[in-house]
Amino acid sequence: MRGIAEQAEQGPDDTVRTGISVAAIKRDFIDNLYYIQARFPDVAGDYDYYQALAYTVRDRLLKRWIRSAQTFKDTAARTVCYLSAEFLLGPHLEANLLNLDIAGQVRQALQELDLDLDRLIRVEEEPGLGNGGLGRLAACYMESLATLQVPTIGYGIRYEFGIFKQEIRDGWQVERTDKWLRFGNPWEIPRPTITFDVKFGGHTETWTDDRGRYRVRWIPVREVRGVAYDTPILGYGVKTANLLRLWTAEAVESFDFQAFNVGDYYRAVDEKVLSESISKVLYPNDEPLVGKTLRLAQQYLFVSCSLQDMIRIHLQVPGMDVRGFHNKYAVQLNDTHPSIAVAELMRLLLDEHLLGWDEAWEITRQTFGYTNHTLLPEALESWPLPLFQRVLPRHLELIYEINRRFLDAVRDRYPGDAGLAARLSLIDEAGDKRVRMANLACAGSHSINGVAALHTELLKTHVLRDFYRLWPERFSNKTNGVTLRRFLLLANPVLSALISEQIGAGWIRHSEELLRLEPLATDAGFRRRWRGAKRANKVRLAAYVQAQTGIELDPDWLFDIQAKRIHEYKRQHLNVLHVVTHYLRLKQYPGFEAPPRAVLFAGKAAPGYFMAKRIIKLINSVAGVVNADPEVNARLKVVFLPNFCVKQAQLVYPAADLSEQISLAGMEASGTGNMKFALNGALTIGTLDGANIEIRDAVEPENFHLFGLNVDQVQATRAAGYRPRELYESNPRLKAVIDRIGDGHFSHGDRELFRPLVDALLYHDHYLLCADYDSYIACQDEAGRAYSDPDNWTRRSILNVARSGGFSSDRAIHQYCEDIWRVTPLPMALE
Ligand code: NBG
């Protein structure tokens, strides 16, 4: 008898279950409707059809996935592990159809069954396991890693509730929980046998083992079990399928038996609820984390499970030793959220695998790379010492010891510089003591990188300057990138088809080939077709806007769009100042020459972020007045599009003429929406901030609308004692705009509603809106004039796409592989 290994060797029988002919797909779809959904067509609805289709697609990708896993195991390949508290994947179905290259057959098969693929694609609830740019970057990187055939595991948290759903009621943001798992998730495979128990709280004890070794034992108050859920991530145009492994928290025992025995049934169940609460909900990224014990528990749970899992996989191969851990894995810390990994790997190596300190530290440091994603001081994570001690007593000891050795070395090198040691310390000793996670990440990594050229420079000169002084060789820049498969090919099929028709389809994997569009920018016929594609996308968005908000938009207007998280530093309210300026002007001078403009906003505010929520209310209030005013609404409209998410983003980017990237210089680490807009042929109006600078260099200054202070001028303005009130008093136009907002013009006479915003502008204006106001308005007017020359605008739009290929995540991942991870592709055999 042949064993299962041998018999399963060939994988499933293609003709029966995973064939890709229209007939095979149809057969499998009908089977899945029957055997998985238990439905017959008379009673089946779109949800059942979606599920049946999802399983039909999944059946076809499992083979690649299993083969990839097998190959990685057989070759003991060096593997990238991307540790991230967020993965904002977006809907799976369409992406998987694309990467399996079966969309055509599937559409046909469904058609033959009188079903419409696009309708079923819209049924999918996207997994919103991230806040914004950082989580979406992780998803783009996973896709590029698979496309570049780099063995990778993404590790994160399977939040039961992802980012909240945003509704707008009476102009205010209202949050609703995101029950994305309500109908099940066909794209994940639960692994109830891959679990790790993770300790929390309690205390430590030292003892001496029978070989006379000093040992530490951690006696926790609680253990929680992390259970793996796996999602395959396909590459485009290759057979590689990588693994995204997300952890869910479960109670170690469903019941606390002690409590159960004394008859305290409810307390026993409480314990279960408490454990499971750890992976319940995603935290917003822009609210202070005060007292968020659960957040630290989340971070530790996923990091500990992930590292234990890596060790398990590594030791599966006969002859492997934990000492080779850093040769097997390159682990990237996506911001500080997983930085507890530095202490946890030390704990595992010291306490569980009994290595000596120096050896363990060397392995740890060679394992990790740290990516910083923020310059905002308030966003640099640190945990109050008592909280940290309460949750992770053993890790605090380890951090103290890492810190002692680290600071000793610093003092040796820079004797007498007490300030330096205090700034580098992993513990903030000033005031309430805190553990500084960025310092832990820096100390424990061989590589530290920023996400755009300016950002990396500012890390070196400001945020991490002391670390840069210590280890300049560890710093590098890796400018962010986005996957063109999702954000151009899927999001913008019309433009993609036009591009491929002209220059072939090579750009999809080799984005630099977009450059071949350059000469076409001067071709009038091509420009006409380009404009047609843009218009089609605007028609598509306008229909969506109408369905969502009831507001009617004319696709021949200038579509001016700002879509991103709502934050004061991103300055959506500067955009509003322009809208109000334009509105007042149109009312005062009806002959004012400017193209009609639709200004669209989209983005969520953190639920506890007072000012951001007021900004949303302001946008909607201004929209209410402008859109209802017959004197202006034939030339200006304002829309707030609720619930920005990946699905919606795919409709928004392709329809933009003008992309608003207007953060105060020195605040936005990179931005990635800026890249997505440019790649879809929008021209940017922006500051010299984040990756805007590199976009402007790439597309060339004449194809970018620049305004505002640069970083040096921002610093100088502040240093000179910035007084926004004086700017307001001396600038009648600005004064009129702010006065209308303050005097109730947009709030039915209510002068209190926007007072917090007005006062912030007049008395603090931390993000220098007043300073950048004139420059912004002049630039908007310039952009309006430029738009009035459609031919030239289109030429510049084409050049933006042609020259933005460098912002592909393939380029970024290639750089990470070469410079930081030292990992090479492992091509998967073709079938
Ligand atoms: C964000 C930055 C963006 C950047 C993304 C991805 C965090 C902490 N940072 O500018 O604000 O594009 O990260 O790097 O979410």
- Residues 760-797: tens digit of each pLDDT: 999 999 999 999 999 999 999 999 999 999 999 999 99
**Per-residue pLDDT at 284:** 85
Cα(374) to centroid(ligand 1), Å: 6
**Per-residue pLDDT at 831:** 59
285 Cβ inside 6 Å of ligand 1: yes
The closest-lying atom of ligand 1 relative to the alpha carbon of residue 373 is: 9
Give nearest CA residue, ligand 1 atom 12.
671
Cα(704) to centroid(ligand 1), Å: 22
**What number of residues does the chain have?**
831
The closest-lying atom of ligand 1 relative to the alpha carbon of residue 668 is: 10
The closest-lying atom of ligand 1 relative to the alpha carbon of residue 131 is: 15
- Residues 695-749: tens digit of each pLDDT: 999 999 999 999 999 999 999 999 999 999 999 999 999 999 999 999 999 999 9
Structure tokens at 430: 């000033």
Angle at 825 between CA 822 and CA 831, to 5 degrees: 165
Catalytic center residues:
373, 564-565, 570, 672, 676
**Sheet-wide strand order for 329-334:** 189-200, 222-234, 241-251, 152-157, 79-83, 329-334, 368-371, 447-450, 475-477
25 Cβ inside 6 Å of ligand 1: no
Mutation to probe ligand 1, out of 136, 370, 374, 375 (largest number of atoms < 8 A from CB): 374
**Per-residue pLDDT at 367:** 98
747 Cβ inside 6 Å of ligand 1: no
Cα(598) to centroid(ligand 1), Å: 27
- Counting Cα atoms < 13 Å in the Cβ hemisphere of 421 gives 16
**Per-residue pLDDT at 248:** 98
690 Cβ inside 6 Å of ligand 1: yes
Core vs surface per residue 538-562: b (16+ CB within 10 A) or e: bebbbebbeeebebebebebbbbbb
115: Cβ–Cβ under 8 A, 6 or more apart, which residues?
49
667 Cβ inside 6 Å of ligand 1: no
Q: How many other CB atoms sit within 10 Å of the CB of residue 190?
A: 13
Structure tokens at 709: 């202070």
Structure tokens at 4: 């299962």
d(CA 780, CA 513): 32
Angle at 363 between CA 358 and CA 369, to 5 degrees: 125
Cα(674) to centroid(ligand 1), Å: 12
**Per-residue pLDDT at 777:** 98
Tell me which residue of 147, 89, 100, 132 sits closest to 812, measured CA to CA: 147
666 Cβ inside 6 Å of ligand 1: no
Q: Where are the alpha helices (DSSP H) in 433-556?
A: 437-443, 453-458, 465-470, 484, 493-503, 524-549
134 Cβ inside 6 Å of ligand 1: yes
d(CA 322, CA 315): 7
Residue 192 backbone phi and psi in degrees, to 5: -60, -15
Give nearest CA residue, ligand 1 atom 9.
373
Residues of the chain with pLDDT under 70: 1-16, 254-263, 290-291, 830-831
Taking the model in full, what pTM does it have?
0.97
Cα(670) to centroid(ligand 1), Å: 6
The closest-lying atom of ligand 1 relative to the alpha carbon of residue 480 is: 14
Cα(780) to centroid(ligand 1), Å: 26
Give nearest CA residue, ligand 1 atom 3.
671
